[in-house]
Structure 1
Amino acid sequence: MVDTMALLRALLRSARAKRTASRPAGPPADDEVLLDAPDERLAPALVAAGRGEYEPAAKLLATTREAAEWEHRDRYLLRLAAFARSRPEWVGQWRAAAPDDPDVLLLLAQLAVDRGWASPARADLLAEALPLITAAAGADPRDPVPWRVALDHACGTDAGHAEFERLWAEAVRRSPHHYGCHMAALRHLCATASASYGECFDFAESAAQDAPAYALVQALPVHAAYTCLARGTEVAAKRLDLAADRGLALSARFPAGDPWPAEVRNLLAYVLVSLGRRQDALGQLRLIGPYVTSFPWDLTSDDPLGHFLRLYEDLAAPGTGLIPSPRGPRNEHGGHAAARDH
């Protein structure tokens, strides 16, 4: 159960962190950072959902749809669905009040896919999710996010190449550089038995090359590097460093303490430490501000926030700055993925 007061404290601490962002950079105090803190648009929706009220979440998703804020829409959808897995009452009330609402249909589809991925009966549950995905995709033909959900569904059902290509074409026709869709495609490629990690890097690098400089797709090679490092796959050091350099260039385009690139910066710091680039990693830890994300620090510790703070202190000291071997790649649907899932 999510503590709504904790979410309110997250808002207050995030605001305080913004006020103190101009002070000299150093390891943050424990009470100045939060794990997976929501941004200022999402936090009120989560707090309301904790009280059983769906209207703020409905308004948030409707706003992103009407403004074609597809990246924000996808991110907020994933966070709302994660919340709803343990507190679903507000989603049921929303569905009863507006059964044809494109936003509740999308949330229901995401929930169904998440539950399928997390269950031992994955195949059966994901099969049941398909009508929900179809309904969400038909509710607003402009929206690429249902197609990202469909791509994740296809990964979970081991859909054939032709079917994945069909879904991919629908997704990128709506949003050519959509981050979530590209992440789904990268996961699919890395899980394909016939694909090499060179092909995974080729896809990631090509997508980043074609994307605008500020697009999160620029971080796709960092994800490819992480997957190889986590699995101990042999990859040329130059290619790993180039992926990290591209991530650094993307991070530099955003201000310090910005929640938008937070997960990219957390992952980039992990990759940089793994590559022995301590000073670059320390720079990213400073830029993260209060927005520490569970991923990827929960790969190496049951206390990801504590691990982050200890690493920060160690790099600033400096100390060893070593990251232990991860437990294995994690998928976004909860838990750590088997090799075929990522």
Structure 2
Amino acid sequence: MVCTMAFLRALLSSAHTLRYGPGPSSGLPADDAVMLDAPDERLSPALVAAALGDYDPAAKLLATTRDAEDWEARDRTVARLVAFARSRDNWLTGWLAAAPRDPDALLVKAALAVHRAWQSPAHAELLRDVGPLITAAAEADPRDPVPWRLALDHARGTHATHTVFESLWEQAVRRCPHHYGSHVAALRYLSAEWYGSHRECFDFAERAAEDAAGDSLVQALPVRAAFALLRDEEASARANSVQTDRVDAAADLAIRLSAGFPAGDPWPSEVRNLLAYVLVARGRAAEALEQFRLIGPYATSFPWASVTGEALGGFLEARAGVRLRVASSAPLCGRPEHGGLRGH
């Protein structure tokens, strides 16, 4: 049984010399046209302004998501603003000075503090100090589920009990029953890496997907559970046919979700990147190539940074390797017929 990471390294190695752009008939953008974590047309002006120290466009954008109760867009926007503020936060400092009680500024402040705490080996201790910031963000707008998603991430890092976590989960889903970010946070808590197991992850993810609308990003939750299993080398090597079937069913579900969005749409780009990885790991070359076509120029750090060490390079080499395999009509090793996964 070839483990997923060894398999992926072999795939990337085979593609290493093929770093020129795909031909015009491939349906894939050239390598130099691919962008990593590219902002959409709404976020780009806010980031440009923030680079100049102006917080107003970011404030207006987040206020719009709050007024419209567009919690998915709000969560994603906060995450992107936090990623920018990690190294350039003077615009946030100015915003908080001008509007210290602004719900949007408080949310970005709390999210940035959570992110910075998680980056430290002493994250459990640092996260405890962040708790009041999350509480302030939650109280600033009681409708908003995003502070409760932060609270779920906070609880995982501070080793909260299942009882505490469940109480926070209830608060999150009370505000938005199918909020993707909250579901991802819960899935992480339930993972084998933290306080649960692969079985618990799949059970939770599959139930959530069954309850969600067909176009909800929650439909991609099972493929995240599949990714966690594939990343666990020991568990994937021991995987039985039931687990293998669950991984493939998760990929099939995510394929249906992906098909509901236009090609080159940045909104489902992370889901499509994750799905492409899982399909590669399962030896489903043609389907993986189709996801790379649908991704277009929108590569995302997750999952490539966690499996290859260099997100954009990993994406490009995986894409090139899959294209080579499909072009040569050679399977990626074939899908295993009995037991086990092409694990990690």
TM-score interval, normalised by the smaller of the two chains: 0.7 to 0.9
**Equivalence map 1:239-318=2 (5 Å):** 239-318=246-325
Equivalent residue, structure 1, for 2:13: none
Cα deviations across residues 35-76 of structure 1 (Å, max 9, x unaligned)? 111111111111111111111111111110000010000001
Matched residue SS, 1:258: coil
Structure 1 residue 298: Cα displacement? 1.7
Equivalent residue, structure 1, for 2:122: 121
Equivalent residue, structure 1, for 2:84: 83
C-alpha separation in 2, matches of 1:28 and 1:162: 48
Matched residue SS, 1:152: helix
CA distance 1:303–1:197, shift in 2 (3 Å): closer
C-alpha separation in 1, matches of 2:148 and 2:160: 14
Equivalent residue, structure 2, for 1:340: none
Mapped pair 1:54 → 2:61 = no
Structure 1 residue 103: Cα displacement? 0.2
C-alpha separation in 1, matches of 2:102 and 2:331: 49
Equivalent residue, structure 2, for 1:182: 183
Q: Does the aligned pair in 2 maintain the 1:112–1:125 contact within 8 Å?
A: no
Letter in 2 for 1:171: A
Letter in 2 for 1:206: R
Percent of aligned pairs with the same amino acid = 61
CA distance 1:149–1:194, shift in 2 (3 Å): closer
C-alpha separation in 2, matches of 1:262 and 1:153: 26
**Equivalence map 1:41-190=2 (5 Å):** 41-190=42-191
C-alpha separation in 2, matches of 1:166 and 1:202: 19
Equivalent residue, structure 1, for 2:222: 221
Structure 1 residue 208: Cα displacement? 0.4
Structure 1 residue 277: Cα displacement? 0.5
C-alpha separation in 1, matches of 2:60 and 2:196: 42
Cα deviations across residues 159-188 of structure 1 (Å, max 9, x unaligned)? 111111111000000000000000000000
Q: Higher RCO, 1 or 2 (CA under 8 Å, sep at least 6)?
A: 2
Q: Does the aligned pair in 2 maintain the 1:27–1:313 contact within 8 Å?
A: no
Letter in 1 for 2:297: P
C-alpha separation in 2, matches of 1:76 and 1:210: 25
Task: Tell me the TM-score normalised to structure 1 length.
Answer: 0.84
Task: Tell me the TM-score normalised to structure 2 length.
Answer: 0.84
- Higher mean displacement: 26-35 or 179-188: 26-35
CA distance 1:136–1:39, shift in 2 (3 Å): same
Structure 1 residue 150: Cα displacement? 0.6
Matched residue SS, 2:190: helix
Mapped pair 1:29 → 2:30 = yes
Structure 1 residue 239: Cα displacement? 1.0
- Higher mean displacement: 115-124 or 198-207: 115-124
Structure 1 residue 25: Cα displacement? 4.1
Letter in 2 for 1:69: D
Q: Does the aligned pair in 1 maintain the 2:28–2:296 contact within 8 Å?
A: no
Q: Does the aligned pair in 1 maintain the 2:272–2:291 contact within 8 Å?
A: yes
Letter in 1 for 2:129: E
Cα deviations across residues 118-164 of structure 1 (Å, max 9, x unaligned)? 11232232111111111100111111001001111001101111111
C-alpha separation in 2, matches of 1:111 and 1:237: 38
Find the structure with the greater CA-based Rg.
2
Matched residue SS, 2:261: coil
C-alpha separation in 2, matches of 1:247 and 1:165: 27
Cα deviations across residues 256-292 of structure 1 (Å, max 9, x unaligned)? 0001100000000000000001111000000001111
C-alpha separation in 2, matches of 1:280 and 1:179: 24
CA distance 1:298–1:322, shift in 2 (3 Å): farther
Question: Which consecutive unaligned segments of at least 5 residues does structure 1 have?
Answer: 1-22, 324-342
Q: Give the alignment's Cα RMSD to 1 decimal.
A: 1.8
Q: Does the aligned pair in 1 maintain the 2:189–2:196 contact within 8 Å?
A: no
Equivalent residue, structure 2, for 1:10: none
Q: Does the aligned pair in 2 maintain the 1:27–1:309 contact within 8 Å?
A: no
Letter in 1 for 2:121: P
Structure 1 residue 191: Cα displacement? 4.7
Cα deviations across residues 215-268 of structure 1 (Å, max 9, x unaligned)? 000000000000000012244211110010011010011000001100000000
